[in-house]
Amino acid sequence: MKPLPLAPRAVVFDCDGLLVDTEVCWTRAERRIFADHGHGFGPEQKALVIGGTLAAAGEAMAAYFGRPGDGPRLAGELLSLVRAELADGAQALPGARELLKACAAAVPVAVASNSPRELLDIALGTSGLSGFVPVSFAADEVAAPKPAPDLYLAACSALGADPGDAVAFEDSATGVAAARAAGMYVVTVPSLEHVALDHDWLAGTLFDTELALWASGLEPCAGR
């Protein structure tokens, strides 16, 4: 693994499955849709829809069900189900609050999520993390969502940082591809077990001791 940079100009986090345990909400919704179409739902099916946009998930399900053209309808159905799940509350993942707080004390931080703004705000709000993230970008606010680099480029621009001097935290192959395309250092914390993902630094959880030490020792940016 490459050494963690001690003087990044910004740190940008994914949200779903990385900061907030929304994947259980998404999984329950996805499992219901698969069941409604007569299919089981396991790791193989989850891998088809994780990390992408609602539209991409809808198209992936339509292809899997053999129902071309049903992508938009399935995406709308998924949105309604996930909205209801998130409204019941989503929990911050272990170490998320502590890591966000430590990073934000030294450098500008942001969230770059492939969720639409509506779901991103619910996830950050119900998990209690919104106060730690003054800047965030959602999939429906850029020209192209992940795996395109647009979300990360927008976040770095808003934070006044060159992507080459910024760190991205990701949990999925789609997100890692986006961060790589933006030219960022990538810390990967996989949300699916036994899935090998590209990374500069790999951790099993945000509660990782070395990550905590790194965040507490970050060199403050000018003016912070």
Q: How far is CA 194 from CA 13, 19, 34, 63, 191, in A?
A: 22, 20, 23, 25, 10
pLDDT at 223: 53
Q: What 8-state DSSP symbol labels residue 53?
A: -
Assigned domain for 1 exists = no
Assigned domain for 223 exists = no
Domain holding 39, by residue range, is 23-87
Would you tell me how many other CB atoms lie within 10 Å of the CB of residue 194? 6
On whether both 33 and 99 belong to a single domain, the answer is: no
Assigned domain for 173 exists = yes
- Rounded Cα distance between 161 and 40, Å, is 44
Would you tell me how many other CB atoms lie within 10 Å of the CB of residue 5? 17
On whether both 106 and 212 belong to a single domain, the answer is: yes
pLDDT (tens digit per residue) in 38-77:
999 999 999 899 878 889 999 999 999 999 999 999 999 9
Domain boundary among 35, 56, 87: 87
pLDDT at 209: 94
pLDDT (tens digit per residue) in 132-189:
999 999 999 999 999 999 999 999 999 999 999 999 999 999 999 999 999 999 999 9
The number of distinct structural domains making up the chain is 2
Query: Which residue, among 39, 31, 71, 21, has the nearest Cα to 171 in the 3D structure?
Result: 21
